Amino acid sequence: MLTKVAGAVSTSPQINPITTDSVPIETALANGVLTKRWREPIIFPQDTSCTVGRDSIARYIKAEQHRRRDSVRRALDKRPKHIYFTFDDGPLIGSRAIDSIVTAKDIRVSAFLVGRHRKMSRALNRAFEKYKENSLIECYNHSFSHAKNRFTTFYNNPIGAYDDFAKNEVDLGLRHKIVRMPGRNIWIYDDMRRVDLQSGAGTADLLATEGFKIFGWDVEWKIHGLTGKPIQSVDEIYTRLRNYMNNKSSMEPNNVVLLMHDDMFRSTHGQELLTNLIDTLKQNTDFSFEFMSTYPHRY
């Protein structure tokens, strides 16, 4: 996933890879050293006295990357692991159930809200108020109109799209400058920028310039709202979350973001599945449930 690392060849003579790796990573503090090393390209130690074939360089880099990643993975595995439950498109029918379940289970979750939905009924407005009152739920921005589900048209006008997010912020009284873009898996925060579809990039960059952090997701869970029939079972989604955590294949190692939608939890069956997933994670892992406002925890 982190394409920056793969195949990066440099023959810069001044950097010696042995000294780069000689800091004892087991004792490195939680200051991002491990994350940095996980991403950093392998540098080939140039020896000017002999010429080395490209194949040998490629073999060296592959072996070295393998060796380094194994050691960094072992070190990261000893550090805390963080999971982010994120619910999109609320308030919707289903939001009240999420509110009750996270309260009963005492876990922190993140809600990316659509202001337009709140105006659709008194019940949905009440669901929004419950979210805001709940200290285990942080409310973030998912645009006012949800692009009316016409994403390309919406993003073709970055200023109009930006205004829609700004309206949502004011309308819902959002305290955090945190956005998830409708229909796009785009990340812009700190030193990171990853864009899935170019349409959307202009709006995302404009939001970032105005001080918003934009977060996508690593894993998505889908359940049919009306029937409660899951596309992926609790077991499948639990296994995926564990694999992302173990393989460090998420956007940030030791941090995994799960995307769900509020309308997945309309039916009691859907609600049971959510409870089941939380219980399974609590019983079998030491992952801590976090708000997106604390993302990422780097080691």
Applying CB under 5 A, the residues found at the interface with Zn ion are: 88-89, 182
Q: How far is the CB of 262 from Zn ion (least distance, A)?
A: 10
The one-letter code for the residue type at 138 is E
Residues 6+ apart with CB under 8 A from 103: 134, 136
Select 225 or 253, whichever has its Cβ closest to Zn ion.
Answer: 225
Q: How far is the CB of 251 from Zn ion (least distance, A)?
A: 18
Select 88 or 252, whichever has its Cβ closest to Zn ion.
Answer: 88
d(CA 128, CA 91): 6
Q: How far is the CB of 227 from Zn ion (least distance, A)?
A: 20
Q: How far is the CB of 167 from Zn ion (least distance, A)?
A: 16
**Cα–chain center distance at 160:** 26
Select 21 or 171, whichever has its Cβ closest to Zn ion.
Answer: 171
Please give the span between the terminal C-alpha atoms of the chain, in angstroms, as a whole number.
Answer: 19
Q: Which residues pair with 213 in a beta bridge?
A: 178
Select 88 or 263, whichever has its Cβ closest to Zn ion.
Answer: 88
Q: Are 296 and 255 in contact (CB under 8 A)?
A: yes
φ, ψ dihedrals at 123, nearest 5°: -65, -40
154 is written with which tokens?
A: 């919406």
Residues 6+ apart with CB under 8 A from 197: 184
Q: How far is the CB of 146 from Zn ion (least distance, A)?
A: 6
Select 88 or 99, whichever has its Cβ closest to Zn ion.
Answer: 88
d(CA 200, CA 248): 27
CB neighbourhood size of 163 (10 A): 12
Q: How far is the CB of 141 from Zn ion (least distance, A)?
A: 11
Select 88 or 169, whichever has its Cβ closest to Zn ion.
Answer: 88
Residue where the block lists tokens 């709006």: 203
Select 182 or 225, whichever has its Cβ closest to Zn ion.
Answer: 182
Whose CB is nearest to Zn ion? 88
β-strands 178-179, 213-214 pairing: parallel
Q: How far is the CB of 264 from Zn ion (least distance, A)?
A: 12
